Copies of this chain bind each other. A is one copy, B any other.
Amino acid sequence: MIELPYLLFLGDAPDPLAAKVAQGIKDWRPDHALGQLRLEGCKANLDLHDMTIADAVAAGVKTLVIGVANRGGIISPVWKSALLEALDAGLDIASGLHNLLRNEADLAVKAKELGRTLHDVRVPSVSYPIANGKKRTGKRLLAVGTDCSVGKMYTGLCVEKAMQALGRKATFRATGQTGILITGDGVPLDAMIADFMAGSIEYLTPDNEPDHWDIIEGQGSLFHASFSGVAMALIHGGQPDALVLCHEPNRPHMRGLPDYRLPSLEALRDLALPIAQIVNPACRVVGVSLNTSALGLDEALTLCAEIEARLDLSTVDPFRHGAERLAEALDTI
């Protein structure tokens, strides 16, 4: 678990997109981020307080989060003096980059000397158990996708927000690097050892109050030749009571697989539901979440209505239209 609150480190981000992890934290956990730290030449700006390390410590910040990614996921030499200063000033550091903080000798030595924690959220930090498949109390929603990167994380975060606005008990459970940095906790499923994948998700979503919902972040797709094993383990470890089908219309092919067309939402429903029912016979599909960012406003509404009629399921773009209808659909479970 990463200590809160955060200072978001934007470094020398070459453009706003490079700071999308920081943007995610600001969008979804605004209370977690007290300020931003930008180096010379930084082209990203989250409109947070610009803080020095000293300002951040004075404001109560506990962790500097690297909210920027550069090509290759490396820890830039240009960042080093700020990162070392943060450790000196009493902060932990968290990163989801491919190259690990712990493998930077200067950071590792200083962190050890001062008793600070370097959180590399890309690698598992817990010895997870093998899944036991036992029925757990509380309820769970899982987002499953026709493809990778179709909006499963945003769907989960939107549903959590809508449920909390309706006064329901809901907790987003992160299963990827960005989600872990946003919430401060979670399981980096794609970096798990195969035998422990499902067990890590059981660990992440333990027994809970009967009316509490874990909103589990989806990963991969059952239809994606590269990552379907991860999607499978997530369903069987997550033991969902409800599935929401996620899709981005108009993709020419599966992400990274030019020879593969996306399946239909019906095909996703017909494969994912029986798989979920192996571990939870009561599981149901409760709605469809579309990522309509490539469509006009009217076009998006028309498509939602068409799919809603075709599948007889509440269908929204939760980012555009809110996720209230998906949240309300859970009341029927």
Contact = CB atoms under 8 A, between A and B. Distances in A.
A149 to B, nearest CB: 14
B197 A132 contact: no
A113 interface: no
Contacts of A222: 232, 275
B191 A191 contact: no
Contact of A225 (B189, B190, B229, B278): B278
A231 B232 CA distance: 9
| Copies of this chain held together in the complex | 2
Contact of A229 (B223, B236, B256, B263): B236
A171 B209 CA distance: 52
A193 interface: yes
* Residue of A199, A226, A259 with highest tally of chain B CB at under 10 A: A226
* Residue of A189, A234, A278 with highest tally of chain B CB at under 10 A: A278
Contacts of A260: 133, 278
B190 A195 contact: yes
Interface string A203-228: 00000000000000000001101111
Contacts of A234: 229
A73 interface: no
Contact of A230 (B194, B227, B259, B263): B194
A284 to B, nearest CB: 19
Q: Chain A interface residue count: which class?
A: 35 or more
A193 B190 CA distance: 7
Contacts of A132: 225-226, 256-257
B229 A197 contact: yes
Nearest to A223: B278
A263 B278 CA distance: 9
A192 B190 contact: no
Contacts of A199: 226
A226 B190 contact: no
B192 A131 contact: no
Nearest to A235: B228
A189 to B, nearest CB: 6
Interface of A: 130-135, 189-195, 197-199, 222-223, 225-234, 236-237, 254, 256-257, 259-260, 263, 271, 274-275, 278-279
Q: Nearest 6 CB-CB pairs, A to B?
A: A229-B233, A133-B225, A232-B232, A131-B226, A229-B229, A190-B195
Given A192-B194, A228-B232, 17 more contacts: A131-B226, A132-B225, A132-B226, A132-B257, A133-B260, A192-B193, A195-B230, A198-B229, A222-B232, A225-B237, A225-B278, A226-B236, A228-B236, A229-B229, A229-B234, A229-B236, A271-B275
